[in-house]
Amino acid sequence: MAPLLEIKGLQVAFFTKDGMVRAVNGISYSLDEGDTLGIVGESGCGKSVSSLAMLRLLPEPPARIMGGQILFEGQDLLKLSLNEMHKIRGRKIAMIFQDPMTSLNPVMTIGEQIAEAVRVNLGLSARAARDRAVEVLSHVGIPRARDRYNDFPHQFSGGMRQRVMIAMAISCNPRLLIADEPTTALDVTIQAQIVDLVRRLQQELNMAVIWITHDLGVIARLARRVNVMYAGYIIESGPIKRIFGNPQHPYTIGLLGSVPQADGAGQTLQYIDGAPPDLIRLPQGCAFAPRCKHRGPACDQGQPALVEIEPQHLAACVNLSDIHASRESRLPVSG
């Protein structure tokens, strides 16, 4: 069976007065129906840009999709007209963002905003659209959904506003939901509730999910597979258990080492030296090389390709064997 979504060699750049910003540099991955993919990395690594490119929401100019394919249900979204894309957005692919207050219209009631999306995408009557809006609001856990239909965004808490955004996203039963850091501005308790809500909705609706975040803890609870991005590249990819249990790329190792553990009494947190590269002037070799403790001469020969370490687990590094040997030598000897 063909995957629901297949990205092939996607390249995105922004043309500025200072030069061409290489935001996404030939990434490729696929997503099956009903699956969950996490995309993690530092700010500016290309996580959100690649997803906005998928929906053709990047402003052109200054953005330009330089190459690649975005195959959804076997159809290349980059070849569709804007009118054809309107039929995809919301109806088949929906997206929720980090701050709902910048996505919700402050002068329209939340019910009107959901009902409008339903009318436009599904062609329902005003009454049917209102009933659908109340139904999805109730489904995402908004108490007294019918009474709150006429409330405005400012009358909801941050967590409740994010529930409203999720209600709007699922109102047309999309096959794919893209969640772009939707829990970043919320406290830990509310974050957990939103993650659990999305996980429940995914199972009920058999909906594929792409969850974009810099929070590895959220990914561990939600995703089955994860792509780790750095400087516009996917530098490691694989099942969540393998990435967390046996990270291969030095960047992934550093990321996981910087996360406090619940039972980490006496744990020494790691850190990654330096800062991400200037995307206008990327290094000639591996983008991570200037920050890498394992840098060698081969690292300056070009950006490494992803290679399979074990089934479905890939990493882009030319020094994987040396890194593995170094880590093995630091393990405590039993007995």
Grouping H, G, I as helix, E, B as strand and the rest as coil, residue 266 is: coil
Q: Helix %, strand %, coil % for the chain, to 5? A: 35, 25, 40
Q: If DSSP codes are grouped into helix, strand and coil, which group holds residue 148? A: helix
Residue 94, both tokens: 């929906």
Tell me the two tokens of residue 260.
Answer: 């406090």
So what's the pLDDT on residue 266?
A: 58
DSSP element (H, E) containing 64: strand 63-72
Measured between alpha carbons, how far is 37 from 60 in angstroms, rounded to an integer? 27
Which whole number is the average pLDDT over 56-62? 91
| Residue 262: predicted pLDDT | 60
Q: Which residue has the higher pLDDT, 329 or 73?
A: 73
Q: Is 292 exposed, middle or buried (0-12, 13-18, 19+ CB in 10 A)?
A: buried
Give the pLDDT confidence score for residue 15 in this predicted structure.
95
Which range among 192-196, 252-256, 267-271 shows the weakest confidence by mean pLDDT? 267-271
Please report, rounded to a whole number, the percentage of residues in the chain having pLDDT higher than 70.
93
What's the chain's average pLDDT?
88
Instruction: Specify burial of residue 74 (Cβ count, 10 A radius: 0-12, 13-18, 19+).
Output: exposed
Can you tell me the mean pLDDT for 62-83? 94
Angle 66-176-118 (CA atoms, 0-180°, nearest 5)?
110
Most confident among 151-160, 228-237, 277-286 (mean pLDDT): 228-237
Strand partners, 11: 25, 67
Distance between CA atoms of residues 160 and 152, nearest Å? 12
- pTM for the model stands at 0.89
Q: Are strands 225-230 and 19-31 parallel, antiparallel or unpaired?
A: unpaired
Tokens of 45: 């690594």
- Given a cut of 50, whether residue 225 has pLDDT beyond it is yes
Rounded to an integer, what distance in angstroms lies between the CA atom of residue 331 and that of residue 132?
Answer: 57
* Residue 90 pLDDT greater than 60, yes or no: yes
Please give the pLDDT value at position 230: 95
Q: How many CA atoms lie within 13 A of 29 on its CB side?
A: 30
Residue with tokens 């046996």: 246
Residues in the chain: 335
From the CB of residue 11, how many other CB atoms can be counted at a distance below 10 Å?
18
57: left (phi over 0), alpha (psi -120 to 50) or beta: alpha
